[in-house]
Amino acid sequence: MEINELPTHINLSKLYEIAKKSAQIGNEILKINYNKIQKISSKGRKGDLVTNVDLEVENKIKEYLLEETPDISINAEESGKLIKSSDLTWCIDPLDGTTNYSHGYPFFGTSIGLLYKNKPIIGAVSVPYLNELYSACIGTGSFCNDIELKISSARNLSESLLVTGFSYDRFETEDNNYAEFCYLTHKTRGVRRGGAAAVDLVFVASGKVDGYWERGLEVWDIAAGAVIVKEAGGIISDYPSGEFNLSSGRILACSPSLENELKKALDNVVPLKKNLYT
């Protein structure tokens, strides 16, 4: 999506500020409640948790968005879709990294993305423990606390640091990223598993890590981070090949100079068999 493809009536600058404010709302609630969770529940899949804090953040952000942009649809992790007539949709991940947060592990954030006809155009991700707010709007660049971001200049895997994650369905499917993790650990300086896709993506945009790939993701996990990476000069695509498709659940993010080698490496990996780890 390019800025000249948008209708002229869309006030991008106003919506950009609303996205950043929404992420800041989450930021404050997450900081206040850190290590003070009152309730943790399972959504049914092993490791897929929700806390009272997830719900509080989502409710506050939805309340704010409905007040400021009543005609824009909402797709939120905990409460689902609220459909309006607009081609615009807010994607809300109130607490990305719930498992981390519930254990007091300081890798989590709030992610707010805005889509136009299912294409990311605005993103804001707060990382409370680092006091960082990442943001981007198409055509304007990416920023962390108002400092412009630039993607890593890494040119080969042997000098790169990567990050990935493992989907909740990893216990049932062979397409689970374990083999890719092992293979690329030996091809790089290391592979990290952060546990919060939105944070992984903004760390790529900032150059903290050189590349990221994952499967089994939801729209709200990657809507914001995708535009932040792209506006920082990075590439967003499917993997091991293909164009980025927000609904596929698969994403690869890295610098253009690393793209071909990383995709080739991922294409070479043979998945582990289930009986090797069950």
Cα distance between residue 143 and residue 241, in whole Å:
28
Please, what are the domains in the chain?
3-148 (3.30.540.10), 157-271 (3.40.190.80)
pLDDT of residue 42: 82
pLDDT of residue 53: 96
Per the CB < 8 A criterion, the answer to whether 94 and 110 are in contact is: yes
Q: Hey, which bits of the chain come out as E strands?
A: 40-42, 49-51, 73-76, 80-82, 88-96, 109-116, 119-127, 132-137, 142-144, 147-148, 161-164, 190-193, 211-214, 235-237, 251-254
Give residue for tokens 């050189």: 210
For residue 120, CA distances in Å to 157, 185, 230, 231, 237 come to 28, 30, 10, 11, 13
Q: Kindly tell me if the per-residue pLDDT of 274 is higher than 60.
A: no
pLDDT of residue 275: 47
pLDDT of residue 173: 65
pLDDT of residue 172: 65
pLDDT of residue 240: 80
pLDDT of residue 170: 60
Q: Buried b / exposed e across 215-243, counting CB within 10 Å, b at 16+?
A: bbbbbbbbbbbbbbbbbbbbbbbbbbeee
**Averaged pLDDT score across all residues of the chain:** 93
Cα distance between residue 33 and residue 210, in whole Å:
32
Q: pLDDT tens digit string along 96-121?
A: 999 999 999 999 999 999 999 999 99
Q: pLDDT tens digit string along 60-90?
A: 999 999 999 999 999 999 999 999 989 999 9
Mean pLDDT, residues 22-30 taken together: 98
Per the CB < 8 A criterion, the answer to whether 152 and 207 are in contact is: yes
Q: pLDDT tens digit string along 196-232?
A: 999 999 999 999 999 999 999 999 999 999 999 999 9
